[in-house]
Structure 1
Amino acid sequence: MEKRGFIALGLSLLFLALYPLALEHFYPDYYKQKAALSSAGQKAARPAPAPTAGAPAVVSPEEVSAADPARDTALKTGSLELWFNAEGGAIRQIRLPRFPGEKAGSPLEIFALDRMDDAPTALQTGPAGGRAMTTYHITSWGEEVAASAALPDGLEVVKKYSFENGGYDGRLGLVFKNASGRPLKFRYRLLVGPSIPPRHAIDGQYIEANFYSEENGKKVLRHLNESKSGKTVEGQGTIEWAATKDRHFSVILKPQSDVAFKGLVEGLGSHRFRVSLESPELLVPPGGSLAHDFLLYIGPNDIDRLLPLGLDPLVNFGKLDAIGKLLVGALELLQKACGNYGLAIIALTFLINVLLFPLTRVSYMSMKRMQLIQPHMNKIKDQHKKNPEKLNKEMMELYRKHKVNPFGGCLPMVLQMPVFMALYVALSKSVALVDSRFLWARDLSSPDAVPLPFALPFVGSQLHVLPLIMVAAMVIQQKFTQIKIEGQDPAMESQQKMMAVVMPIMFGFIFYGMPSGLVLYWLTNTVLMALYQAHLKKLTLA
């Protein structure tokens, strides 16, 4: 067993060495996004042509739209800070001042784009929604911005953005005017936006495009992520709304006009994509106009804000959606009572364990019975190893005699798993944990990074403390779980001791980059399970 111990230790050290490389491999957009985006912007960008006096200039399809911050127009509400660029008349930069940014005292930045052909609300027109971008004339007043331009073939467009009451939702109105002397046929693509750059390594798995549509009479939410390929995927059915989202925030466009829009996700490679809505072919008579309205939402994935807008399906916890939403609601109620989300997580974990304690007790007592009859089981296996039929018969008789159900220890744990998995997903996605502090953790939605005065190998200059405490708690819990059995195989006993150390270390690696709120939940659950098992260990079998 000493050899096995060294092997386990070696595997743990190998895992420690490869863990940072694995993160960089699976989440390259987090570790390389700034260099990649900067490089892409420098390669693609060309100087924008200057507009002629009295009319906007039209950029040819061969030219790539490069954002010029000097040509930005700002719109600021209590919840949003948006910068509109003349190139495309679309949103170049998004900030949410009610959420903290990477630097102390700075607001959270969702986008700061170098290329306007990726910008939210960028408009592309042509026979098939071409890539040409137009220079717009932008005016602003209060919480409204208007952008107007002359498109090819005598088509004029006005884009009007309006926000009220300092919220996250607003209105985007498009008006197309035919200034030519002939009917004009065209279609357009309206960009929802590109994939949202991740702020933490864990964010990569939650970045996706969403389409909510009606298919065969049913409402369906589609989750698409085409970041690993260069292909374009079309949403099914008539799109009711489209979104680009990450773990906590979204940009959503919801058509308010009776027009059958298609949804498109264009894979851009390097774990990036672009989401857009495409109109059917439209006809505007000479001197006529056509108006389309959209609901525009830019903000947190908060079901209380999304529900009145008909966007609540965006907050989805997968197959455990109902349980997840119930747990999030309970967490918010406990936060109001406790005044802190960290305390609320501890309280919620305690309540869940109390409710599930009867199942935990059944599971532990069944496991204890199985361990007590282990020597008898080994003896039967040795006696009848060449006679499987006799072996099974003797085993069943042993179970009956000692009132043991071989699956009794597993079934209660299986029944508990949906609750624990739903809470895991809910805590991972809950926007309420953003900027919620607890002890030294400054943000329960991200790892509890404690600065170090020096750099450590593989760790760097920041240490995540909660996962280390969790590992120690799991080692202690494993000691409470183990049951000393007379006559137990020494090899099996040694293996149990080894696993009591290796398993917590493996969990430590897994949880090291997780949000601190999630680690706090698992730590609290581990401590409670250790206390329960210490109590159950004193009980005698009936």
Structure 2
Amino acid sequence: MESQRSFLVIGLALVSFLLWQQWHVDYGPKPVEPAGTEQLESSPNEGVASAKPSNRTSEDVPVSTSQSTAQVPSADSASTRLISVSTDTLDLKIDLIGGDVVHADLKQFPVKQGSSQPYSLLRNNDQLYIAQSGLVGANGPDGSAQGRPRYSVTQESFKLEGDTLQVPMTWRNEAGIVVTKTFTFTRGNHNIDVTYSINNNTAQTANFQQYAQLKQVLAESDGNVFMPTYRGAAYSTEDERYDKYTFDDIEDKNLRETTPGGWVGMLEHYFVSAWVPPQDEVNKIYSRLIRNQYAIIGFTGEPINVASGESATLASQLYLGPKDQDELATIARGLDLTVDYGVLWWISQPLFKLLQFLHGLVGNWGLAIILITIIVKGIMYPLTKKQYESMAKLRNLAPKMQQLKERYGDDRQKMSQGMMDLYRKEKVNPMGGCFPLLLQMPIFLALYWVLMESVELRHAEFYLWITDLSVKDPFYVLPILTGASMYLLQKLQPNTISDPMQQKIMQWMPVMMSVFFLWFPAGLVLYWLISNVITLIQAKIIYASMEKRGIQTK
């Protein structure tokens, strides 16, 4: 089995699998929605908040058993309910009803390269995607039968001037309960601290329970067959550091998990929103489908009792930003795994660290890709050499194999025994050509996902016409060069295939793969091109070495 042909066949099989996946998403059977999805549960411990503020009891928040009277929000316009917050990393809109983050722009990430318009992660429009939070429980303002609370603020806009910014919002009821919900922002950070300071000025003990959730309209993945990215929910428990929960999963079954710590999130290709509850408490993670239209994933914390005249504080964190592994790893266990490298994450993460290091040396992600390809191919050179030598020895045995076929004819048992004896006599391992390739494939696939998933490559320039390594080559130069390199590799390696149909397939393989590469991100095609060029050089060196030792290569 020839090395390059094996890579081409595997590559074609991978692309075919991706095509089948995309067809299944677009045209495959859709899951039957379970009956009773729209019926709402009434337990405060399962509390979830409304998608859009309303003056009536929210369909998302269970009615509290509290006898206290909550402040009823006035029927005002949305403009008077929204406050703006601006930091060096985020532009937010917070709704005073409920204190939900209903809009979030990522200021350092333009929606398109060269655009002045920032990428909107959260939005309160037809493509609803918001971050909600509040207090339920017997005395929680969000659990009141009269609707979600309206908070009051001292100003309509806030701007980060120093290293931190606090945005306090206050709610009080007639009975004497005062809740201050505070958002704390830090310069250079996409992580937001959310705290509730509770003062119980009533004559009785009051009960509260924190909840937070992410809600968005059901949507298809924003990936395609050539960039199979994930869009949907995810969560973490003590047992599972990272587990995806797709929109189809939410439609089929409500998630119910109880775990120490944990987190919940909504994922896009390069960005993530996540609620992180107190990691030293036991939290309940849930999902929900509202009106067969909105997907929710969230958590509820431990309920607390606040005695008369006493106060208490509850806290959580909200992350709104890029899938920055270094930053996410410091926030919660497993949150960095939202940079989804799949089952080979344990290989991909060290490769990404190496890619980061190389970028720090050369200051260009394209050059870093070239360098990491050279390093990886260099490390795997002994395996490649062993593979080529083993295949050459097998080719040299072809005349003797033909003699065995003529001697034993259709007697498969004797033929197999004769082949084993021949391999033993000539000291040839029939799997010697395949085994090194199998060892290389996990590294190849791991690096593929590194280049696919890493937000650092988004809008990253290379040179000349390659201004964004995360999108296809606009002039298709790299795919054409990659196809040419495949063709040269085919010519370099002797053809041992006798079937005419298989010969034609292999001849057209570089053309077929080049067509697929037309839509691949330029960074991936650059990697494959450099890998092919290095393989050509290595093959020349290996063949020259074998011929000097008397091993026939043709």
Q: Structure 1-normalised TM-score?
A: 0.76
Aligned to 1:57: 72
Q: Give the counterpart of 1:398 among 418, 422, 433.
A: 422
Q: Output one character per residue of 1:146-174: Cα deviation in whole Å (capped at 9) or x when no partner.
A: 23335798755332101122322231112
Aligned equivalents of 1:304 and 1:512: distance in 2?
Answer: 32
Following TM superposition, by how much is the alpha carbon of 1:110 offset from its aligned partner in structure 2, in angstroms? 1.3
Letter in 2 for 1:173: T
Residue 152 of structure 2 corresponds to residue 137 of structure 1: yes
Residue 507 of structure 2 corresponds to residue 497 of structure 1: no
Residue 116 of structure 2 corresponds to residue 105 of structure 1: yes
Q: 1:71 to 1:154 in 2, by over 3 A?
A: same
Following TM superposition, by how much is the alpha carbon of 1:193 offset from its aligned partner in structure 2, in angstroms? 5.0
Q: 1:446 to 1:333 in 2, by over 3 A?
A: same
Letter in 2 for 1:244: M
Aligned equivalents of 2:104 and 2:132: distance in 1?
Answer: 12
Q: Output one character per residue of 1:441-482: Cα deviation in whole Å (capped at 9) or x when no partner.
A: 33223333x2xxxxxxxxxxxx7554444334323322323x
Aligned to 1:388: 412
Q: 1:254 to 1:48 in 2, by over 3 A?
A: closer
Q: Give the counterpart of 2:284 among 259, 262, 286.
A: 262
Q: Which moved more, 1:299-308 or 1:202-211?
A: 202-211
Aligned equivalents of 2:218 and 2:457: distance in 1?
Answer: 19
Query: RMSD of aligned C-alpha atoms?
Result: 4.0
Letter in 2 for 1:476: L
Aligned equivalents of 1:288 and 1:203: distance in 2?
Answer: 54
Aligned to 1:76: 86
Residue 100 of structure 2 corresponds to residue 90 of structure 1: yes
Aligned equivalents of 1:416 and 1:203: distance in 2?
Answer: 22
Following TM superposition, by how much is the alpha carbon of 1:179 offset from its aligned partner in structure 2, in angstroms? 5.7
Aligned residues of 2:51 and 2:215 also touching (Cα < 8 A): no
5 Å-filtered alignment, 1:214-293, equals 214-215=238-239, 220-229=240-249, 230=251, 231-256=253-278, 258-266=280-288, 273-293=295-315
Aligned equivalents of 1:270 and 1:523: distance in 2?
Answer: 46
Following TM superposition, by how much is the alpha carbon of 1:429 offset from its aligned partner in structure 2, in angstroms? 1.7
Following TM superposition, by how much is the alpha carbon of 1:260 offset from its aligned partner in structure 2, in angstroms? 1.9
Aligned equivalents of 2:179 and 2:376: distance in 1?
Answer: 56
Following TM superposition, by how much is the alpha carbon of 1:248 offset from its aligned partner in structure 2, in angstroms? 2.6
Aligned equivalents of 1:247 and 1:192: distance in 2?
Answer: 17
Aligned equivalents of 1:268 and 1:71: distance in 2?
Answer: 24
Aligned equivalents of 1:523 and 1:501: distance in 2?
Answer: 18
Q: Which moved more, 1:282-291 or 1:339-348?
A: 282-291
Aligned to 1:443: 468
Q: 1:338 to 1:496 in 2, by over 3 A?
A: farther
Aligned equivalents of 1:186 and 1:47: distance in 2?
Answer: 21
Aligned equivalents of 1:24 and 1:71: distance in 2?
Answer: 44
2:460 is paired with a residue whose SS is coil
Q: Output one character per residue of 1:361-399: Cα deviation in whole Å (capped at 9) or x when no partner.
A: 111121222233334424423542432221112112332
Q: 1:26 to 1:473 in 2, by over 3 A?
A: farther
Aligned equivalents of 2:314 and 2:247: distance in 1?
Answer: 30
Aligned to 1:474: 486
Aligned equivalents of 2:399 and 2:149: distance in 1?
Answer: 81
Q: 1:319 to 1:298 in 2, by over 3 A?
A: same
2:213 is paired with a residue whose SS is strand
Aligned equivalents of 1:509 and 1:472: distance in 2?
Answer: 12
Aligned equivalents of 2:381 and 2:417: distance in 1?
Answer: 34
1:521 is paired with a residue whose SS is helix
Aligned residues of 2:210 and 2:301 also touching (Cα < 8 A): yes
Identity %: 25
Following TM superposition, by how much is the alpha carbon of 1:504 offset from its aligned partner in structure 2, in angstroms? 3.4
Aligned residues of 1:67 and 1:87 also touching (Cα < 8 A): no
5 Å-filtered alignment, 1:415-454, equals 415-439=439-463, 440-448=465-473, 450=474
Aligned residues of 1:475 and 1:500 also touching (Cα < 8 A): no
2:112 is paired with a residue whose SS is coil
Following TM superposition, by how much is the alpha carbon of 1:120 offset from its aligned partner in structure 2, in angstroms? 1.2
Following TM superposition, by how much is the alpha carbon of 1:195 offset from its aligned partner in structure 2, in angstroms? 8.4
Unmatched 5+ residue regions in structure 1? 1-11, 29-43, 60-64, 451-462
Aligned to 1:524: 530
Following TM superposition, by how much is the alpha carbon of 1:190 offset from its aligned partner in structure 2, in angstroms? 1.1
Q: 1:192 to 1:272 in 2, by over 3 A?
A: closer
Q: Which moved more, 1:428-437 or 1:370-379?
A: 370-379
Following TM superposition, by how much is the alpha carbon of 1:228 offset from its aligned partner in structure 2, in angstroms? 1.0
2:510 is paired with a residue whose SS is helix
1:536 is paired with a residue whose SS is helix
Aligned to 1:361: 385
1:102 is paired with a residue whose SS is coil
Letter in 2 for 1:222: Y
Q: Output one character per residue of 1:104-149: Cα deviation in whole Å (capped at 9) or x when no partner.
A: 2222221212389952133363579869544433445443322333
Letter in 2 for 1:297: Y
Q: 1:75 to 1:105 in 2, by over 3 A?
A: same
Aligned residues of 1:27 and 1:204 also touching (Cα < 8 A): no
Q: Structure 2-normalised TM-score?
A: 0.74
Q: 1:255 to 1:189 in 2, by over 3 A?
A: closer
Unmatched 5+ residue regions in structure 2? 1-11, 28-49, 57-69, 160-164
Aligned residues of 1:66 and 1:116 also touching (Cα < 8 A): no
Following TM superposition, by how much is the alpha carbon of 1:318 offset from its aligned partner in structure 2, in angstroms? 4.3
1:137 is paired with a residue whose SS is coil
Letter in 1 for 2:307: P
Aligned equivalents of 1:505 and 1:46: distance in 2?
Answer: 52
Aligned residues of 2:344 and 2:442 also touching (Cα < 8 A): yes
Q: 1:185 to 1:293 in 2, by over 3 A?
A: closer
Aligned residues of 2:260 and 2:280 also touching (Cα < 8 A): no
Following TM superposition, by how much is the alpha carbon of 1:261 offset from its aligned partner in structure 2, in angstroms? 1.5
Letter in 2 for 1:280: E
Aligned residues of 1:262 and 1:277 also touching (Cα < 8 A): yes
Aligned equivalents of 2:174 and 2:480: distance in 1?
Answer: 62
Larger relative contact order, structure 1 or 2 (CA cutoff 8 Å, min sep 6): 2
Aligned to 2:235: 211
Q: 1:378 to 1:347 in 2, by over 3 A?
A: same
Aligned residues of 1:46 and 1:66 also touching (Cα < 8 A): no
Q: 1:271 to 1:471 in 2, by over 3 A?
A: farther
Aligned equivalents of 2:299 and 2:128: distance in 1?
Answer: 14
Aligned residues of 1:69 and 1:85 also touching (Cα < 8 A): no
5 Å-filtered alignment, 1:299-310, equals 299-310=321-332
Q: Output one character per residue of 1:209-252: Cα deviation in whole Å (capped at 9) or x when no partner.
A: 4434334xxxx403122311412112352224333333432223
Following TM superposition, by how much is the alpha carbon of 1:428 offset from its aligned partner in structure 2, in angstroms? 1.7
Q: Which moved more, 1:119-128 or 1:75-84?
A: 119-128
Following TM superposition, by how much is the alpha carbon of 1:279 offset from its aligned partner in structure 2, in angstroms? 2.2
Q: Give the counterpart of 2:131 among 120, 128, 134.
A: 120
Letter in 2 for 1:527: V
2:371 is paired with a residue whose SS is helix
Q: Which moved more, 1:526-535 or 1:361-370?
A: 526-535
1:120 is paired with a residue whose SS is strand
Aligned residues of 2:123 and 2:129 also touching (Cα < 8 A): no
1:346 is paired with a residue whose SS is helix
Q: 1:179 to 1:465 in 2, by over 3 A?
A: farther
Aligned equivalents of 2:432 and 2:174: distance in 1?
Answer: 73
Aligned equivalents of 2:184 and 2:79: distance in 1?
Answer: 21
Q: 1:117 to 1:149 in 2, by over 3 A?
A: farther
How many residues in Structure 1 have an aligned counterpart in Structure 2? Answer: 481
